Amino acid sequence: MKVNAQWISRIFFFLALASSATAHAQTVNVKGLAERLKQGGYVIVFRHGATNRDQADTDPLNYDNTAKQRLLSEGGKALATQVGASFKVLQIPIGKVHTSKFNRAVETGRLIGGTEVASTLDITEGGLVVTPIENDRRAEALRKMAATPPEHGKNTLLVTHKPNIIDAFGKDWFEVKEGEASIFQPDGAGKAVPIARVQATEWIKAAK
């Protein structure tokens, strides 16, 4: 019996949607999660905070030209600041902070981590202005960073972009929101085990 290739592709498409829906349907006990994070040993991958939707990256290879970038909105800045304050209340220790080179990621990292950050091309959005080979390299770099154990008693904070997150971790992250955190636990064997996904407002609620 011949199998229609189009039907096969549709089946896999709907399976992917179902998997994504299941991931989003899971509820997270953020206070319980915070108790685990208090001990350190996790990598927190943030998509940068909320941005101004009327802006675009019109000079995407010049990271110092912030006037030509999509920047954090005032609401995005306020929410990132609140998340940083919530981490302190929840006693979640942050060690190293690595960000994309785009200002919206750098600023998010500073506001949440409360410290200076190390920006790197490895987790910077490339899109159509870099080669597919380079985008693949950055995806692999993000996976490696998420699988790298943090310094003892600390959690590593990575701030990057939606395309990087999807490329690194798969289609279940297709609807990752601005300010959303994905928590990973390095297994010591080069793999990052996903633990939870938390929206920015959930940290704030848990800290009250």
Q: What is the tens place of the pLDDT at every residue in 122-140?
A: 999 999 999 999 999 999 9
What pLDDT, in 10s, does the model give residues 157-182?
999 999 999 999 999 999 999 999 99
Q: Which range, of 19-23, 48-52, 84-88, averages the lowest pLDDT?
A: 19-23
**Band of the pLDDT at 10, cuts 50, 70, 90?**
very low
What average pLDDT does the segment 17-30 reach? 56
Q: What is the pLDDT of residue 26?
A: 57
Spell out the domains of the chain, with CATH numbers in brackets: 28-207 (3.40.50.1240)
What are the DSSP calls for the chain, one per residue?
----HHHHHHHHHHHHHHHHHHHHH----HHHHHHHHTT---EEEEEP--B-TT---SSTT-TT-GGGS--B-HHHHHHHHHHHHHHHHTT--EEEEEE-SSHHHHHHHHHHHSS--EE-GGGS--GGGS-HHHHHHHHHHHHHHHTSPPSTT-EEEEEE-HHHHHHHH-GGGTTPPTT-EEEEEE-SSS-EEEEEEE-HHHHHHHH-
